[in-house]
Structure 1
């Protein structure tokens, strides 16, 4: 039995997710990163962000992208990006935490466009692939209007997304 061929947009998205995993493998929060125990989480949870490739539970992932006061926002975003992207695409974020605007701002605050070329290209490809997949999927997991909010906040522009 052969499996049906995946649509091109889905293959592109899967490839972009794989690329994020490869490009950001081994990333951690800065060793001196700190966040308030009473507002963000425990020292044990913070220590998890300083261990590469360790899966975070959904609540910790949420508190991490939502916190605006990281010293090195870029390092924190790079640390969680593969898991965050996968969680976004599967709709697990939208099920529990539907504030796509805040997630998009987390991308923007991480200044991903200023990262080394390979890293910023991987993020840009992920956003474009997710948008393309959302527009071509007859029943997308995350509604197009929610994805549009996220990609617009993440990139600071709506034009290329509407043009697509």
Structure 2
């Protein structure tokens, strides 16, 4: 089975796991959508219009009387287009909303189905180029959603496909642009500080796979080494290098 097929299988399993989430009368602020919008969100999942799913997916939790329950119901309609690059809401915002909805604390069949999608999506991305969602956005989503970066980097380390190598070059273009890596945060609200872990990975696990000329600057490399060895809790922007 190809990695794309494994992702489709994980998405189908997600649909089945969440199929038991029953419709319920959605209540909340009527300023943005009115009673008609709340009524549409109260319909069976397949009858909710796409634009209402998108609107609700990005809305702040305080808008709804029962945000976790509503978001849980909408997950299949959010995740499938999200991983296909066809959802018109910021990928990183979706990760934030899932965390706010407490997805990892949901009943085991639901949380496990979503975890399986993260794993399958990451594998499919590393084996596909170009991917529907950029490597940086994909990494940001699964990192923020799971609260962990290193496991996904470890998977990348042992994946040496042509797609994974090209994605690595793209990631370097993103994080080295204007030296963003020196103070890199992931998430819609910059909630995951990624610099130390990403720099350590870059300078150790995959250094031989990165040919970016910016990493030929010894002063920049020294600066990165300072960042990767900084004690936990020290803001990266507090570390200075006069030669950098």
- Scaled by the length of structure 1, the TM-score of the pair is 0.83
What secondary structure does 2:46 align onto? coil
Match of 1:11 in 2: 5
d(CA) in 2 for partners of 1:10, 1:55: 27
d(CA) in 2 for partners of 1:24, 1:119: 6
Gap regions ≥5 residues in structure 2: 156-244
**Cα drift, residue 135 of structure 1:** 1.2
The answer to whether structure 1 residue 113 and structure 2 residue 113 are counterparts is no
Match of 2:141 in 1: 150
The answer to whether structure 1 residue 43 and structure 2 residue 42 are counterparts is no
Total equivalences in the alignment: 153
Structure-2 change in CA distance of 1:55 and 1:163 (3 Å): farther
Alignment check: 8 A CA contact 2:4 2:124 kept: yes
- Equivalent positions of 1:17-32 (< 5 A) are 17-28=11-22, 30-31=24-25
The answer to whether structure 1 residue 73 and structure 2 residue 67 are counterparts is yes
Alignment check: 8 A CA contact 2:83 2:133 kept: yes
Q: Please identify the structure whose Cα radius of gyration is greater.
A: 2
Choose between structure 1 and 2 for higher RCO, CA contacts under 8 A separated by at least 6 residues: 1
RMSD, aligned CA: 1.8
d(CA) in 2 for partners of 1:10, 1:19: 14
Alignment check: 8 A CA contact 1:23 1:119 kept: yes
Gap regions ≥5 residues in structure 1: 1-5
d(CA) in 2 for partners of 1:127, 1:55: 26
Structure-2 change in CA distance of 1:134 and 1:55 (3 Å): farther
Match of 1:90 in 2: 84
- Scaled by the length of structure 2, the TM-score of the pair is 0.58
After superposing on structure 2, the runs of 4+ consecutive aligned residues of structure 1 that deviate more than 4 Å are none
